[in-house]
Structure 1
Amino acid sequence: MNQVQSAIKSAHSVLTQKQKKDGHWVFELEADATIPAEFILLEHFLDRIDEDVEQRMGVYLRRIQGKHGGWPLYHDGAFDISASVKAYFALKAIGDDVDAPHMRRAREAILAHGGAERANVFTRFQMAIFGEVPWRATPVMPIELVLMPRAGFFSIWNMSYWSRTVVTPLLVVRAVEAQAVNPRNISIQELFVTPPEKIRDWNHGPFRSVWGRLFTGIDKVIRPIEPFMPAKLRKKAIQAALDFIEPRLSDGGLGAIYPAMANVVMMYRALGVSDDDPRARQAWQALLDLIVTHGAESYCQPCVSPVWDTALTGLAMVEASTGSRPTAPEATRDMLGKTAAWLRERQILDIKGDWAMNTKARPGGWAFQYDNDYYPDVDDTAVVGMLLHREDPKANKEAIARAREWIIGMQSSNGGWGAFDVDNNLDALNHIPFADHGALLDPPTADVSARCISFLSQLALPEDRDVIDRGVAYLLQEQEKDGSWFGRWGTNYIYGTWSVLCALNAAGLDHDHPAISRAVTWLESVQREDGGWGEDCATFEGAPPGRYHESLPSQTAWATLALMAAGRKDSPAVARGIASLVAAQGEDGEWQEKPFNAVGFPKVFYLRYHGYRQFFPLMALSRYRNLAASNSGKVEYGF
């Protein structure tokens, strides 16, 4: 146990040093090649080229090129046609010679996989903006859709928050058929197997259902009609789009996510708005704030994650400072007092965002980012609520009460919780030609639902029992045949199983419940020989759940936390997992982890939270130490 305590002390010290003066934490959030590539192309769209930034992003893009010649969607991943086309396009734009070895390898790989014509819808929009493909290469998405009420099948109000904010400015860009300035006249025609002007059918599938074929047929019917839409109606629709977008603009940008933010910048330029206009300046600055630089490299984050990072780090620090051998308890309490104050200031109490369409609950949530008040995040709110309750339930009483009220109001009719909306589950929309990424919606998921159950169970209010029970019933229905749970917002089955086992424990299910026993058996079956656990993003694409060729700190922490929540603190599997974490820690108190550990859209967009490798191992080690010293040996909290 002395080694465990030493590891806790070192990890605690690292996080202490990383806390900001005002009490919060924020770590880098990294995606794949597409975001920095799109930023470079955006600069060329606008002719606002920052040569220094672009060259540093070029260094980053060259470094992450895969051995297959193209670019993957996550560390050590398979070739992805869309990411590869964008990365090649961006590198050519900043001046890379097409005959350079890395460009030649990329081009050969792209052509071998069917050429740029096989790229996804968002990439085809990018190419249309630069005149590389005709606009008919993009699905029909009339701007008039924004005029459609929620009762309309194709209404933007039936889409998820991220889809709504990404699509609305993009519809304007498409309506006016915006064209990039492209000052260097960069073209990528060499990436096409068939010349774009000769391609008749761009909606080539694969179609996931009969719905897909039906909507493709509708696309073909509407396409010749769209140019004849009345000019007054189109003008009204563009104004309606602006009326939606502009109240939601902030220093964090529209929706505080890169695609929506970039589309707003392009929209304003396409509408002739000056770059000096306050709206355009604010939208552009929000993008610049996403850039991260390390020496000769830069990349653009998809968004920032301060609230999420702060809540999770705070929970790890609370765990480290409790028990019979706490780590710097007084100093930690002072730190967390500042953290709680910082979080309370950011609770959204007076803005009814898009989520209010389907609930009468008062505002009370937290957004994921610094500034995104229209779109509080259910997952963040539950985790912040748990932290505030553990930090000081009396001082944080009002904030916890409003969070509880909002979380209860956000429960969907099937008992689960989505990330941002209630009952956002019109699945047929995922089969329209525009939605080839299959993530247009925000239905309930096991991991988010588990967090809400954990929060409400931690509060232990009798009047919440029905809400909790309906949530538990949803989780039990979602269990996979092998005993695991799908993670959705984290990688992947280990993440989902950890989330749910914590919730079931907090909700009071017996540790011998069949669902818990099956989950434990599965977790133990995928433990690696070195005692750790590993899983990468390939499991979102059909790879065996819970398996990888190396153990990872975040995955090992999740698995051990899950087993401890299931009452197996004394099992050999937990002991081996803890030993693996201790052995993997560096002399500087940090753990290292290159593989991505989360997902935006499965098979399309993945994420690497740089803080996961540090605060989750600290949480697991501290929990293990505390349980070993506890009389009951039971995990008391839902996380």
Structure 2
Amino acid sequence: GTSADDPICKRGRAFLQDNGGVLMAASWAKFYLCLLGCMEWEGHNSVPAEMWLLPKWFPFHPGRLWCHCRMVYLPMGYLYGQRFVYDKAETDPVIASLRKELYVTPYESIEWDKTRHWVSDMDNYSPIPFAMRTLHNILARYETWSIFQPFKQYVRNMGLKWSLEYMAAEDLQTNFIDIGPVNKVLNMLSAFHGASGDLTHRTVVNHMMRVPDYLWIAEDGMKMQGYNGSQAWDTSFAIQAFAEADLLDDFPKVAKLVYTYLERTQILSTETARSSPAYQYESAPFREKYYRHVSEGGWPFSTSAHGWPISDCTGEGLKGTLCLLRNKNIKAAVERGELKRFSDDRFEKSVNVMLALQNEDGGWATYENNRGFGWYEQLNPSEVFGDIMIDYSYVECSMASLTALYEFHEMFPDHRREEIFHAINKGKDFLKSIQREDGSWYGSWACCFCYGCWFGIEGLVKAGDPHDSPEILKCCEFLLSHQRENGGWGEDFTSCYDKDYAVNGMDAYGDEGSGVVNTGWALLALSAAKCPDVKAIRAGCRYLMKRQLPSGDWPQEGISGVFNRACGITYTAYRNVFPVWALGRCAATYGDALDKED
């Protein structure tokens, strides 16, 4: 309802006008404009639903794509194939106004087909490769030339039917949360279309009930989250920080609550989860049909209801649970029946998930094994994300998985012993193979090198490498070379984007270029390596202590997380979890030496 003459609208419109209008927007933005009726479908490249009809052995089958990629383009294909448009677009005055305000030329005069590849340089992070542009142009003829229409209509109808069935399975497997917010909205819109626009249809109602899972009211208004939260991920880290800082007995209620939460959150492992429709999809035939990896026993990034296990979340969830079971108060509460006992079978299924997720290169990917090939990136249709076509192996997923296997083996030494040793050794070799020449590891899921170095060193140490191994020493040298004068470390989002350590650290959103989260990661890495430079460790610890607020909190600084190199993620818990963890580990590792002056 905001007027077009509102100062905020004027500024936004001026920006658009100066940059060519929305015809220069990236493809995902254009897709939503088409749905709204603010752009014609001829201005968007083809998303053929019939791709799903290809035989599974076909080298480029959409079922081989990374799950986030395929679950977004699945509903896109359906809505594109149906040419879905808001049904009141031609009479809605808001749409009419937008058609005037968003463009630099009259809407009626635009030759839409010529704009399909237009994108502003500022949005063109991952330019569409030549192969994909060529394929887009071929598909444009396929969409319009009359000679193809009988065949196209026949296979498209089959593809649309399959897409709707596949989305229905995804909805049930995730309790209508879906893997992320993009396909959540598109799945919901597809369900609405499939229900002939009936808002009272059960599927549509179930979808709408889950919308609040993604809404986040922040200081500057309501936003759509990039996931339905990071609850399990943050909780797993937090409780390990408590344990390593020897604080579990100081906060026994917290420890019990976390134990209960982690027990409830293990995927498809509770009576409630097994009584849900999602559980039937765990059978091998359904997993094969809908391209799902084994889920039972894993832990999610967010909630059990979300239903997608991830290798590093499973690893950290398992480690968080095991560290609680080593606590005498938790063990006593379990023995008294105050806390539910984890059966050995549940831990074994968690291990099964992780062992099954190890890639052939020895590393671990995120949700699934890598099913495709590197050349898939030549067919990346998104300009704003890089490396989204297949599920790569990462330092973070690999460390979390192999260290969890190590800790499980310590508690259950006879279960799949040889397989676990073999997996750990392969994982160690993988970590060494992706270490950069300067000694660092690139962190793909946070900002960035301090984070990657922590995972790299931690993984090598737990895998049995000595603290003076060349790889560990080289990484320590890298970290020490980037310590700032105030004792801290700092990186911002540019480290992820440029794949190079941020020259100016956290100048914009930190403290003299340093930040508490990056400093926490660096100290965790150095103390895991038992770095002999106590002076540097002392300076880092003092920096963290200096930055702590009177309330006990640490200040919220710049964005610390990232998704596919170009999308920042805010983790508000990190500012407290990692300073506590780092200080606890450093105190345990260096003891009184931290209090001494050189």
TM-score range, shorter chain: 0.7 to 0.9
For residue 350 of structure 2, the aligned residue among 403, 409, 430 is 403
| Residues 261, 286 of structure 1: 8 Å contact kept | no
Tell me how far 1:294 sits from its aligned partner: 5.1
Distance 1:267 1:519, change over 3 A: same
Distance 1:528 1:193, change over 3 A: farther
Q: 2:336 corresponds to which residue?
A: none
| Residues 267, 296 of structure 2: 8 Å contact kept | no
Partners in 2 of 1:123 and 1:366 — Cα distance?
32
Q: Does 1:522 align with 2:478?
A: yes
Q: 2:378 corresponds to which residue?
A: 431
Q: 2:22 corresponds to which residue?
A: 116
Q: 2:506 corresponds to which residue?
A: 548
Partners in 2 of 1:328 and 1:478 — Cα distance?
40
Partners in 2 of 1:519 and 1:401 — Cα distance?
34
Q: 1:190 corresponds to which residue?
A: 101
Q: Which moved more, 1:453-462 or 1:283-292?
A: 453-462
Q: Does 1:446 align with 2:400?
A: no
Q: Does 1:257 align with 2:177?
A: no
Q: 2:584 corresponds to which residue?
A: 622
Secondary structure at 1:242 match in 2? helix
Q: 2:320 corresponds to which residue?
A: 387
Partners in 1 of 2:542 and 2:304 — Cα distance?
40
For residue 250 of structure 2, the aligned residue among 318, 328, 341 is 328
Q: 1:14 corresponds to which residue?
A: none
Partners in 2 of 1:314 and 1:618 — Cα distance?
11
Partners in 2 of 1:582 and 1:227 — Cα distance?
69
Tell me how far 1:382 sits from its aligned partner: 0.5
Q: 1:455 corresponds to which residue?
A: 404
Tell me how far 1:126 sits from its aligned partner: 0.9
Tell me how far 1:185 sits from its aligned partner: 2.6
Distance 1:191 1:415, change over 3 A: same
Which amino acid in the other structure matches residue 390 of structure 2? L
Q: Does 1:613 align with 2:588?
A: no
Q: 1:412 corresponds to which residue?
A: 359
Aligned residue runs from structure 1 range 256-405, under 5 A = 256-271=179-194, 272-293=196-217, 297-303=221-227, 304-321=229-246, 328=250, 330-331=252-253, 333-344=255-266, 347=269, 351=282, 363-372=296-305, 374-392=307-325, 396=342, 397-405=344-352
Which amino acid in the other structure matches residue 140 of structure 1? S
Tell me how far 1:557 sits from its aligned partner: 0.7
Aligned residue runs from structure 1 range 555-634, under 5 A = 555-568=518-531, 571-603=534-566, 605-629=567-591
Partners in 1 of 2:396 and 2:519 — Cα distance?
17
For residue 484 of structure 1, the aligned residue among 428, 440, 445 is 440
Tell me how far 1:541 sits from its aligned partner: 2.1
Q: 2:338 corresponds to which residue?
A: none
Q: Which moved more, 1:376-385 or 1:618-627?
A: 618-627
| Residues 423, 443 of structure 1: 8 Å contact kept | yes
Q: 1:172 corresponds to which residue?
A: 78
Q: 1:62 corresponds to which residue?
A: none
| Residues 132, 189 of structure 1: 8 Å contact kept | no
Distance 1:221 1:427, change over 3 A: farther
Aligned length: 533
Partners in 1 of 2:373 and 2:143 — Cα distance?
24
Secondary structure at 1:489 match in 2? coil
Partners in 1 of 2:367 and 2:421 — Cα distance?
23
| Residues 321, 329 of structure 1: 8 Å contact kept | no
| Residues 145, 154 of structure 1: 8 Å contact kept | no
Partners in 2 of 1:524 and 1:113 — Cα distance?
43
Secondary structure at 1:185 match in 2? helix
Q: Deviations over 1:113-145 (max 9, x none)?
A: 343222111101011112222212222111212
Which amino acid in the other structure matches residue 321 of structure 1? D
Distance 1:419 1:352, change over 3 A: farther
Q: 2:159 corresponds to which residue?
A: 237
| Residues 454, 525 of structure 2: 8 Å contact kept | yes
Tell me how far 1:146 sits from its aligned partner: 2.4
Partners in 2 of 1:470 and 1:236 — Cα distance?
43
Any unmatched runs of 5+ in structure 1? 1-94, 632-639
| Residues 267, 297 of structure 2: 8 Å contact kept | no
| Residues 252, 371 of structure 1: 8 Å contact kept | no
Secondary structure at 1:299 match in 2? strand
Q: Which moved more, 1:250-259 or 1:113-122?
A: 250-259
Q: 1:18 corresponds to which residue?
A: none
Q: Deviations over 1:178-203 (max 9, x none)?
A: 11245443314433345562351422
Partners in 1 of 2:562 and 2:78 — Cα distance?
28
Partners in 2 of 1:313 and 1:386 — Cα distance?
11
Q: 1:211 corresponds to which residue?
A: 131
Tell me how far 1:157 sits from its aligned partner: 0.3
Distance 1:494 1:352, change over 3 A: farther
Partners in 1 of 2:118 and 2:426 — Cα distance?
41
Partners in 2 of 1:514 and 1:195 — Cα distance?
64
Tell me how far 1:295 sits from its aligned partner: 7.3
Q: TM-score, normalised by structure 2?
A: 0.81
Partners in 2 of 1:104 and 1:543 — Cα distance?
36
Distance 1:372 1:137, change over 3 A: farther
Q: TM-score, normalised by structure 1?
A: 0.77
Q: Does 1:247 align with 2:164?
A: no
Aligned residue runs from structure 1 range 98-113, under 5 A = 98-113=4-19
Partners in 1 of 2:232 and 2:491 — Cα distance?
25
Aligned-residue identity in percent: 21
Q: Which moved more, 1:410-419 or 1:562-571?
A: 562-571
Q: 1:45 corresponds to which residue?
A: none
Q: 1:223 corresponds to which residue?
A: 143
Partners in 2 of 1:252 and 1:625 — Cα distance?
44
Q: Deviations over 1:362-419 (max 9, x none)?
A: 8321222324565211111010111122111685443322211210111011111110
Q: Which moved more, 1:301-310 or 1:181-190?
A: 181-190
Which amino acid in the other structure matches residue 479 of structure 2? L
Q: 1:202 corresponds to which residue?
A: 116
Q: Which moved more, 1:439-448 or 1:145-154?
A: 145-154
RCO higher in structure (CA 8 A, sep ≥6) = 1
| Residues 320, 327 of structure 1: 8 Å contact kept | no
| Residues 189, 195 of structure 1: 8 Å contact kept | yes
Secondary structure at 1:545 match in 2? coil
| Residues 557, 620 of structure 1: 8 Å contact kept | yes
Partners in 2 of 1:617 and 1:399 — Cα distance?
32
Root-mean-square deviation (Å):
2.9
Q: 2:48 corresponds to which residue?
A: 142
